[in-house]
Amino acid sequence: MKKNNYGPSSRQLKVGENLRKAISSIMQNHTFHNSLIDKASILITEVKVSPDLSNASVFISTLGGLNNSPDLITALNNSYKPLIGPLTRELKLRRAPKLNFILDDSFERQVYIDNLIKDAKNNR
């Protein structure tokens, strides 16, 4: 029987959620020695893992949308290597996936869409 390849497997979803929890926990207790990262209140909103579990896209946002900048993403992508050791130990992985931090702008897009709908209703 041929399996359809629509969406992530249950294993990818499980590893992604475990990574999200572990990265959040580790980042709370880790100092990056980078003022941009250390001062930001970073929320890990989602982690999507590749089918071979070698890459992970880590979607982040900051509390209140403050410091949501390309500079923060660049700093995180350049400074995540100290997280690898604790991450592999906590999740009991042979190899941690390569992390790629991405700004999650879904909240801002949702507000924008809500405002468009509200304006359309008001202008009838």
Q: Do the domain assignments include residue 2?
A: no
Number of domains making up the chain: 1
Q: How high is the pLDDT of residue 100?
A: 95
Q: Do the domain assignments include residue 118?
A: yes
Q: How high is the pLDDT of residue 4?
A: 59
Rounded to 5°, angle at Cα 39 from 37 and 42: 60
Q: 60 near 19, Cβ under 8 Å? A: no
CA distance 8 to 49: 8
Q: Which domain holds residue 107?
A: 10-122
Q: How high is the pLDDT of residue 102?
A: 93
CATH code of the domain containing 105: 3.30.300.20
Dihedral sign for Cα 17, 40, 83, 74, please.
positive
Residue ranges of the alpha helices (H) in 48-105? 70-79, 81-91
CA distance 56 to 124: 45
Enumerate residues 6+ apart whose C-beta is below 8 A from 94. 88
Q: How high is the pLDDT of residue 1?
A: 44
Q: How high is the pLDDT of residue 55?
A: 94
Q: How high is the pLDDT of residue 99?
A: 93
Q: How high is the pLDDT of residue 66?
A: 61
Q: How high is the pLDDT of residue 18?
A: 93
In single-letter form, the type of residue at position 36 comes to L
Residues of the chain with pLDDT below 70 are 1-5, 64-68
